[in-house]
Structure 1
Amino acid sequence: MQIGSVTTPFGRRPMTLALVKRQIEASEIKPGKTADKWKVFRDASEARELLGLQDRSLAVLDALLSFYPDNELRQDAQLIVFPSNAQLTLRAHGIAGATLRRHLALLVEAGLIVRKDSANGKRYARKDKAGEIDSAFGFDLSPLLMRVDELAMMAQQVVADRFALRRAKENLTICRRDVRKLISAAIEEGASGNWESIEAIYTGLVGRIPRSPTLSDVNSILDEMELLQQEIINILEMHQKDENVSTNGDHHEQHIQNSNTESCCEFEPSSRNEQGAKAVNDGRPKREPVRNFPLGMVMRACPEISMYGPGGTIDSWRAMMIAAVVARSMLGVSPSAYQEACDVMGPENAATAIACILERAGHINAPGGYLRDLTRKAARGEFSLGPVLMALLRVHGQGERAVG
């Protein structure tokens, strides 16, 4: 393969250290390395967004590869192609001259090709007496060979992300449909509960779905939609239990609905199905593990806690727990009360409880006693953080994004 020295661009095009680096790297390709040029092209096409390329850029790259005579890029071959702009325009489906130059520059910037300019900027090749190319000036395809493994990995990641996004969208569609129909059924059949508030939360979640959502966008909304769905099911289960109790007590007495099941508005009990049914063994209740909620959701519901994190931000559960310890001290919650909450709820949920108390600090007279009360309810399987988070999300308009 013809290497030559590092060359600078012709004319007014500037030289950069990145170009120097790419030319040096292109000269250090492992001896004997080969790759199918069209396989490399497909990988680059798949990874075009990561590379910052457009469809026209790929059309120009396809045209450049068509001027390389073999299907296999080889380390020991001459990898410089030297078509004129007119030839490139023809093979790139009639692309305009200015557009061609712009996308050639994008390919260089993306590190897929390197310019090897002659003294006058023309593209050509010199041949020796045997008719073999001795030196050539044009576009060096060596970076494609050098980055073949990297491009393959990038393409695989894009495919995996696309699949994950498709699955997440499907799950969100199903969950959204279920929530909508459950709310409608509950309202039409007169089930007890604050369905007006729940429907407002649902509408807010749907309104946050972007026109072109990313995977993180979909997962964030899906987490909250699944939480809302679970809370609706809990309310309906409690409603059904109330009906069963009323029916068993007196078949002729009209059922009186419980009007205090607005589980999305206050720090309220959960159904025992959510925390685990209470079973007695040796006098001690057994609890299933308490569900941890997504950190992003917690931060959107409780943005005040972020100022207590390291550097004034929270980007992990570890930072969240550090912030909770600081906030605990500020709220006057004793270490023993917080430790008990950690033992019963788990450290993540205990930190979340502190964040929720901090968010409503102006309405709570004794945060320490309040946390102990929540801990006792959680130990009996009578408390869930889900309604608390949903209420705070509603207060913050469902759309405010905090750190996390």
Structure 2
Amino acid sequence: MAFTQATAPTGLRTSEILSADNSIPERHIVVATLRNAAPRLGLSASVISTLDAMLSCLAPKRNHHTVFASNATLTFRRNGISDRTIRRHAATLQDIGLLVRRDSPNRKRFTKHNRHEGKALRFGFDLSPLFDRLHEIASMAAEVMKEREQIDYLRAKIRAAANASLTDNPNDEIALDIFRVLRRKLSLKDCEQILSNLPISVVDAESADNESPISTTTMTASDGQFVRHHHRSSKEHIDKVSISLKKQTTLRVSEAPITIPELLSACPEAAEFSLRKIVTVHDVVAHARTLAPMIGITTQNYEAAHERLGALRAAATVWAIMQFHDKIKAVGAYFRTITTGSKSDGFSPEKLIRRLALAKNHAA
């Protein structure tokens, strides 16, 4: 038995646009971005799973974003949910503005081509609005993640203050009530309100920029414990710091700063996602902050890179990774390693951008 692959005629594929499967952005990135932005969009996890099933039905290379799969196929890919649920989820996605339903007279989903005019009629679930709004959705996702971090920080601060009060007075009703409230899901406004009305002393937080490593040279021990010996070579530490500083100084002196035209030329994939024209450094940085969560870079890792490399160099690194992120197994870990991790000493965003530009010129 022979298996033959059926493909559409070449003339029907006038251009290769973004795919939800194996091109930028990848399907799992689109879905992850939607999950993060779900509170702002009003999407439930079940509706997002149905949208994920629709995305899985899109062809890897195509010149449209229409899903032709039947409800039976979508039901199978959603592990057997009802046909009625599929229709309800499709209606929800249409109301939110992520999908356009184009029904044929017989309610079937198919394409009808006119080869003479080079046109086609497509009946099905058109996901073009989702891809058109992806930049906006990524901005929402970044805002939601930032708000979550702030909520977690305030909850920890409230819990620490209440715990300090219970240490002084185990029967403090106010502190006990606070712990009961913290069992619930709180919004940022709720946390700020609780913190402002807190009658007990609030725990002061130190600046993250001035953190110093914990000293281990002095240790106390009670009965039955012993002080462990800690050996540290000052000479080795100084040598490593000197080498690191020397490398950074050499890179800064020998390499010219990245220009915006150079960045746009070397990283066209990242530029395609911008809804506005990139003109200033502020535009580059703002766009990088939107792209970062789309490819799996957390806000914490991005801020750490921003502190070490500077605004433009950290943003340029994100732009560059967008060009080849499909070849990286774990983008977040890779970004952390080259910007603040074990391979950060020899890393240069300028070299990376110019290497991409050179590869692009050779390919052309």
**TM-score, normalised via structure 2 length:** 0.45
Q: TM-score, normalised by structure 1?
A: 0.41
